[in-house]
Structure 1
């Protein structure tokens, strides 16, 4: 979802309105609210299209408003002359190089904010060559409201331009399932692509099938990287899909949300291979192949936005068990004792934070009363009330082992504690959160830390 952008002029207007309202006083509140004209905003991304002869591209012009009367966007196409042409839906009004589009009837209402999309089809102008640059100027308006004009750059580039059109969200998958992963690409450029490279990333737990024209490796967060070379000529506008299924099995380590990514590139201009991954062939009698589907497109659909695609598997249940590992503090009053606390993943599921970018496997350690933590271990810091409550010590939060918490491994931290009393209440260690869900045996999620 695109973030709403507020023009500087609109922000100044809203600031002035707030100041004026504050000066009038509470009694003027309702009248001020009745006079509020609301706000309106619009956004169009920059886009690169193929040179003359390439198919057109559909791009979304987003219009957003709240409390505004007759929100609309006014587009000036004069800056496209000789570079590209732009066409709009029939509910927009065109006068020369100016186009006015009202808020689409299909706009969605999210707590009083309307958001609608105007599909704009951009074709290269006849004779437009690579490196040509044009602009589209657009301004959001409503009754008593006008934002500052903005510009989108329309560039022209000659050569192949492969786009991946897969964006699939899947629910209801389970460990043990074998699933077909769709692959669909289209050439939006003005030149054919000869041979392509497909690069896939299957997150931990997913086991892709073997194909003889692919190489396989594992990255630092246990994802399987698959790099495939597919031969053939991919003409401008032509869609291609897999001739046979690319399958993957949801293995025992699968748990939580999983995103399978794919990237398509012309082989001649493909970027570097994934860093730090050793790729090897696997034995197989089957090869992945792409086949043309349907007639060449004159216009690329709005869903095709780049060379990357995804298949998103939602909330795979999976089985796993996180076991807290407590400790006993031993010694005499005044002694310093080192204790090691943490937790272990008994698997088979592997908590995986690579989608969010978060570290997983963090835990909380509350020392027993009667001891003092002498230093902050690396990766740990006081959490919540640093002074504790009364005589109770502070709780410490220790970061997890990284983006994945491997099955069969432990994450522990050593704390140096000074023993001040031998009659303190026990402390405890437990997971910081139950990620990605409460595990299959919550009874062992908390372990005591005692003094004796």
Structure 2
């Protein structure tokens, strides 16, 4: 398993399960200590007697500690569940002690696989407590607990988290989909939900319906009949296929969740699902139906993944300036920003970072009288070589604007309207730049054409009204159709959420 794969898988698993790994002082006593030990395991639901049980990771970590360890006491699980530990652990009575490896700064989550099974005689609804204590020779003990509950029903577990290093444009990839019923009841059918990133086109299957997710990707919902017995593994024969699209670039993914068909959650709101026909998908093996109550025990482990770490491609994002024409004293609305010329799309759906941004240096012959606060900030000079963003107000000379969307397709633009009051017809021009030099941003290395990273904002007399035509960094004239992007009213929340980036100094932006 590669470093990238292990890092993403562990972080995504932690997110899905609601696990929070706190690699910091977990107890007040640690405040006086240089090192520490961390451990975290979620509450767990397992099937009743007859279920095969399931594994759950305990995430652990240690730093600057001598002989770090975690001691796990199972006495609170008596009559409820049994636990199997890795061979690296040692047991004395009801307590098992496991060494905790020191953090090597790799970013990879370390975990102990613990296997839980229902205890003989455990009844549905029984609960028990697992107590675990972290410590080291130079770190005070810190105790935590997690709850294990016995339930009756189906418990589908997705088993495949896979990846490939690279894929080419036009290549068809196949992801395996494998599930295991860890419950004590048989399931009657499965609903599979596939989340396909924007750079992939899913194959057409007659068992499925398809919808655009609103961010360039596709959501595919597939329903399958059949019986899925406890303690049995099932695989989607032939896998699920997708083809790499021409605008794909960098990281792409195909994730899936699996639920019992009769009690599957509602499909995402606001999307229109349509059929595409195509070949049939089948699960194997399948066994005879049993009379059972169909209850999903624990849906936190129903998620599987397939990653393409890299799709080689480039894009060309061009700055869009404007030639402002009018008379002194006239207020002219202008639309400026950036346009993606392709061939790759810009996609930050996973990171939820702004997909595009630009900076405006206001021309000397104009004054800003209106600016959209929901997407732009005014950048002020601190006087010591650093700058700070503040809420956008008229009258500034340098603004930074971010696109609140997470996908910018080929040919699409991010344009923002400023109101400029003409103060002079013979002053120096301003500039739109797709990277903010005052904030330390450098040109993106994967942009194939830096000749159009900037575009002028000029002011000239015309004797008439109007703002003139937008111009790109290579003076190609108007963007076809204007490229106007209507911004969501809620986008102000994005600006608020970005306040963590308010301390900006010259140098790398780190993006």
TM-score range, shorter chain: 0.7 to 0.9
Q: 1:221 to 1:266 in 2, by over 3 A?
A: same
Pairing 1:84-123 to 2, within 5 Å after superposition? 84-103=81-100, 107=101, 109-111=103-105, 116-123=110-117
Partner of 1:21: none
Partner of 1:209: 203
The answer as to whether partners of 1:67 and 1:112 remain within 8 angstroms in 2 is no
Partner of 1:83: 80
Partner of 1:281: 275
Identify the match of residue 71 of structure 2 among 70, 74, 80.
74
Comparing 150-159 and 165-174, the one that deviates more: 165-174
The answer as to whether partners of 1:193 and 1:235 remain within 8 angstroms in 2 is yes
The answer as to whether partners of 1:66 and 1:113 remain within 8 angstroms in 2 is no
The answer as to whether partners of 2:63 and 2:103 remain within 8 angstroms in 1 is no
> Per-residue deviation at 1:442?
2.3
Give me the whole-angstrom Cα distance separating, in 2, the residues matched to 1:436 and 1:275: 36
Partner of 1:138: 132
Partner of 2:498: none
TM-score normalised according to structure 1 size: 0.84
Give the SS at the match of 2:257: strand
Identify the match of residue 323 of structure 1 among 308, 318, 322.
318
The answer as to whether partners of 1:139 and 1:146 remain within 8 angstroms in 2 is no
Partner of 1:26: none
Give the SS at the match of 2:380: coil
**Cα deviation code 1:289-346 (max 9, x no counterpart):** 11139xxxxxxxxxx9611111122232334332222111223333322222122223
Pairing 1:39-438 to 2, within 5 Å after superposition? 39-103=36-100, 107=101, 109-111=103-105, 116-284=110-278, 286-292=279-285, 306-385=301-380, 394-400=397-403, 402-432=405-435, 438=446
Give me the whole-angstrom Cα distance separating, in 2, the residues matched to 1:243 and 1:99: 41
Comparing 84-93 and 189-198, the one that deviates more: 84-93
**Cα deviation code 1:98-130 (max 9, x no counterpart):** 222233xxx364159997533222111112232
Give the SS at the match of 2:428: coil
The answer as to whether partners of 2:62 and 2:102 remain within 8 angstroms in 1 is no
The answer as to whether partners of 1:426 and 1:451 remain within 8 angstroms in 2 is yes
The answer as to whether partners of 1:40 and 1:146 remain within 8 angstroms in 2 is no
> Per-residue deviation at 1:436?
7.7
Give me the whole-angstrom Cα distance separating, in 2, the residues matched to 1:225 and 1:252: 19
Aligned residues: 415
**Cα deviation code 1:378-418 (max 9, x no counterpart):** 534334326999xx953212221611112222221221112
Give me the whole-angstrom Cα distance separating, in 1, the residues matched to 2:108 and 2:373: 48
The answer as to whether partners of 1:252 and 1:319 remain within 8 angstroms in 2 is no
Structure 2 residues not aligned, in runs of 5+: 1-10, 12-19, 287-298, 386-394, 436-440, 461-511
Give me the whole-angstrom Cα distance separating, in 2, the residues matched to 1:115 and 1:315: 22
Identify the match of residue 439 of structure 1 among 444, 447, 455.
447
Give me the whole-angstrom Cα distance separating, in 1, the residues matched to 2:112 and 2:243: 40
The answer as to whether partners of 1:108 and 1:115 remain within 8 angstroms in 2 is no
Give me the whole-angstrom Cα distance separating, in 2, the residues matched to 1:423 and 1:256: 45
> Per-residue deviation at 1:190?
0.8
Q: 1:49 to 1:437 in 2, by over 3 A?
A: farther
> Per-residue deviation at 1:93?
2.6
**Cα deviation code 1:140-166 (max 9, x no counterpart):** 122243233110111111111111122
> Per-residue deviation at 1:222?
2.5
Give me the whole-angstrom Cα distance separating, in 2, the residues matched to 1:218 and 1:113: 33
Give me the whole-angstrom Cα distance separating, in 2, the residues matched to 1:62 and 1:413: 45
Structure 1 residues not aligned, in runs of 5+: 18-35, 294-303
Comparing 248-257 and 91-100, the one that deviates more: 91-100
Q: 1:209 to 1:438 in 2, by over 3 A?
A: same
Give me the whole-angstrom Cα distance separating, in 1, the residues matched to 2:113 and 2:376: 50
**Cα deviation code 1:194-240 (max 9, x no counterpart):** 11011111122311111111111212113221111122111112111
The answer as to whether partners of 2:64 and 2:102 remain within 8 angstroms in 1 is no
Give me the whole-angstrom Cα distance separating, in 2, the residues matched to 1:265 and 1:44: 23
Give the SS at the match of 2:350: coil
The answer as to whether partners of 1:379 and 1:398 remain within 8 angstroms in 2 is no
Give the SS at the match of 2:451: helix
Q: 1:70 to 1:288 in 2, by over 3 A?
A: same
The answer as to whether partners of 1:256 and 1:314 remain within 8 angstroms in 2 is yes
